[in-house]
Amino acid sequence: MAPRRGGSGGFDIDVDTSDCAADAFSTTSSRVRIAFYALFTVVYAVLTFLAATSFLRSKRKGKALLQWWALGGSILLGLLSLILSIILVALIQCEVAGDISDAMRANIAITWLYSVSVYLMIAVIMVPIVRHLYMATGKIAKLVTIVNVVYLALLAIILVCWLAIYTFITHSQHTGDYDYFIDLHRHRSRIAVAYYAMEAFGVLIAGTMMLILLVRHSSLWRWTLKAQVLFLIVAALGLTLTNMASSADVYFGSHDVNYLNKSINASLFIQLLFYSCTFAVALFIASSPHLSDANRAYPPVGTAMPPQQQATYHNPPVVPELYSPQK
Q: What does the pLDDT read at residue 317? A: 41
pLDDT tens digits, residue range 28-44?
Answer: 788 888 999 999 999 99
Kindly indicate the confidence band of residue 303, based on its pLDDT and cuts at 50, 70 and 90: very low
Q: In a 3-state reduction of DSSP, which class is residue 310?
A: coil
User: Is 316 within the bounds of a domain?
Assistant: no
User: Is 10 within the bounds of a domain?
Assistant: yes
- 150 CB burial (10 A radius; 0-12, 13-18, 19+): exposed
Q: What does the pLDDT read at residue 180? A: 65
Residue 121 to residue 115: CA distance in whole angstroms: 10
- Where residue 16 sits, what CATH number does that domain have? 1.20.1070
Residues 194-205: what's their mean pLDDT? 96
User: Is 303 within the bounds of a domain?
Assistant: no
Residue 27 DSSP code? S
pLDDT at 202 over 90: yes
Highest mean pLDDT among 89-93, 174-178, 179-183, 205-209: 205-209
Q: In a 3-state reduction of DSSP, which class is residue 251?
A: helix
Taking all residues of the chain, what is their mean pLDDT, rounded to a whole number? 80
Q: What does the pLDDT read at residue 40? A: 98
Residue 245 to residue 253: CA distance in whole angstroms: 10
User: Is 173 within the bounds of a domain?
Assistant: yes
Residues 91-109: what's their mean pLDDT? 73
Q: What does the pLDDT read at residue 28? A: 78
Residue bearing the bigger pLDDT, 150 or 301: 150
Residue 119 to residue 123: CA distance in whole angstroms: 6
Within the chain, residue ranges assigned H as helices are: 20-23, 28-57, 61-93, 100-124, 130-136, 142-172, 178-216, 223-252, 257-286, 289-297
User: Is 323 within the bounds of a domain?
Assistant: no
Least confident of 78-92, 93-107, 153-167, 205-219: 93-107
Q: What does the pLDDT read at residue 302? A: 40
User: Is 319 within the bounds of a domain?
Assistant: no
Task: Determine the structural domain holding residue 44 and report its residue range.
Answer: 3-297
Q: What does the pLDDT read at residue 311? A: 43
Residue 134 to residue 137: CA distance in whole angstroms: 5
- Residue 97 phi, psi dihedral angles, 5° rounding: -75, -5
pLDDT at 61 over 90: no
Domain count, the chain: 1
Kindly indicate the confidence band of residue 327, based on its pLDDT and cuts at 50, 70 and 90: very low
User: Is 310 within the bounds of a domain?
Assistant: no
Residue 324 to residue 62: CA distance in whole angstroms: 7
Residue 306 to residue 299: CA distance in whole angstroms: 10
pLDDT at 50 over 90: yes
pLDDT at 65 over 90: no
Residue bearing the bigger pLDDT, 255 or 54: 54
Contact 127, 152 (CB under 8 A): yes
Q: What does the pLDDT read at residue 38? A: 95
Residue 47 to residue 39: CA distance in whole angstroms: 13
Residue 3 to residue 108: CA distance in whole angstroms: 11
Q: Which residues pair with 4 in a beta bridge?
A: 12
